C-alpha cells in the first residue's frame, strides 16, 4: 500500500475529473447483492483509456515490454476491450473485479441480468486448473444468487474445457463471443 500526504478528497476529485474526461475507467470492487460471510476487498481499480498512456506514465514506453510487464498490460488491454463493447453496444453490464482478503481474485466480472461471467485473464499460451482458483472462490461467494460462468481468457490459440468445467478461450474468440451473443 502506498502512503501519500495528499488528502483523500483531493485524490477523489482528481480521479473523478479523469473519469469525467474519459482518461481513466473505474473498475469497482465486486459487491454481492446478498449477505455473505467471506470478506471481499473493497478497492476499485483504475485503468487508463489507452495502454500506451499507461506505459508512458510508468516510463516504459520507449523500450520493449518485459515479461513482467506483459501480464498486467494484457489484462488492462482486454479489460478495456470489454468496457468498450459494453459501452458501444449499450449492454448495460455491471463490470467489476473480485478479490478476497485471502488473495483469491478474478480479473473481471461481467454481471448480466441472468448470470455473472467471471473472467480470469492470463497472458501465457498455456493454462491449468490452478488458474481457476479465484473463479471457484467467486462462485462460492455468489452462491445461488446468480449462476456463475467461468472463463479463462488467454493468448493461446486453442479453445478448451478444463476437467473442472472452466471454459478456456483465446482472447479474440472471447471478445467475439461477448460482442455477438450477449
pLDDT tens, per residue, the chain with 182 residues: 566 688 888 888 988 888 888 888 889 988 876 655 556 667 888 888 888 888 888 888 888 888 888 888 899 999 999 999 999 999 999 999 999 888 889 999 999 988 999 999 999 999 999 999 999 999 988 888 889 999 999 999 999 999 999 999 999 999 999 987 55
Q: Please work out, in degrees rounded to the nearest 5, the angle formed at the alpha carbon of residue 60 by the alpha carbons of 59 and 65.
A: 170
Residue 1: inside a domain, yes or no?
A: no
For the chain, the residue count is 182
Query: Which residues, in sequence order, are CB contacts of 181 under 8 Å at separation 6+?
Result: none
Q: What is the DSSP secondary-structure string of the chain?
A: ----SS-HHHHHHHHHHHHHTTSEEEEPBP--SS--SS-B----EEEESSHHHHHHHHT-TTSPPPHHHHHHHHHHHHHHHHHHHHHHTT---EEEEEEBTTS-EEEEEEE-SS-EEEEEEE-SS---GGGGHHHHHHHHHHTTSS-EEEEEEESSS--EE-TTS-EEEEHHHHHHHHHHH-
Distance CA(127)–CA(108), nearest Å, equals 17
Q: What is the pLDDT of residue 138?
A: 93
Number of structural domains the chain divides into: 1
Residue 3: inside a domain, yes or no?
A: no
Q: What is the pLDDT of residue 97?
A: 93
Q: Which domain holds residue 50?
A: 8-181
Contact 69, 88 (CB under 8 A): no
Residue 12: inside a domain, yes or no?
A: yes
Q: What is the pLDDT of residue 34?
A: 61
Nearest CA to 79 among 67, 65, 95? Answer: 95
In this structure, how many other beta carbons lie within 10 angstroms of the beta carbon of residue 130?
A: 7
Q: What is the largest CA-CA distance in the chain?
A: 49
Residue 78: inside a domain, yes or no?
A: yes
Residue 2: inside a domain, yes or no?
A: no
Q: What is the pLDDT of residue 22?
A: 82
Q: What is the CATH number for 22?
A: 3.40.1350
Distance CA(11)–CA(149), nearest Å, equals 35
Amino acid at each position: 500500500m502506498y502512503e501519500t500526504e495528499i488528502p483523500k478528497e483531493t485524490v477523489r476529485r482528481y480521479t473523478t475529473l479523469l473519469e469525467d474526461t474519459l482518461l481513466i475507467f473505474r473498475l469497482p470492487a465486486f459487491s454481492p447483492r446478498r449477505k455473505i460471510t467471506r470478506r471481499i476487498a473493497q478497492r476499485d481499480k483504475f485503468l487508463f483509456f489507452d495502454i500506451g498512456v499507461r506505459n508512458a506514465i510508468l516510463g516504459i514506453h520507449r523500450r520493449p515490454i518485459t515479461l513482467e510487464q506483459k501480464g498486467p498490460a494484457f489484462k488492462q488491454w482486454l479489460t478495456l476491450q470489454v468496457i468498450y463493447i459494453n459501452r458501444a453496444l449499450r449492454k448495460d453490464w455491471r463490470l467489476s473485479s473480485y478479490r478476497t482478503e485471502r488473495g483469491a481474485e478474478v480479473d473481471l466480472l461481467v454481471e448480466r441480468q441472468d448470470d455473472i461471467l467471471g473472467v480470469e485473464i492470463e497472458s501465457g499460451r498455456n493454462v491449468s486448473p490452478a488458474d481457476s482458483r479465484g473463479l471457484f472462490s467467486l462462485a462460492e461467494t455468489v452462491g445461488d444468487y446468480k449462476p456463475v460462468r467461468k472463463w479463462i481468457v488467454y493468448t493461446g490459440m486453442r479453445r478448451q474445457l478444463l476437467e473442472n468445467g472452466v471454459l478456456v478461450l483465446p482472447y479474440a474468440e472471447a471478445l467475439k463471443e461477448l460482442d455477438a451473443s450477449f
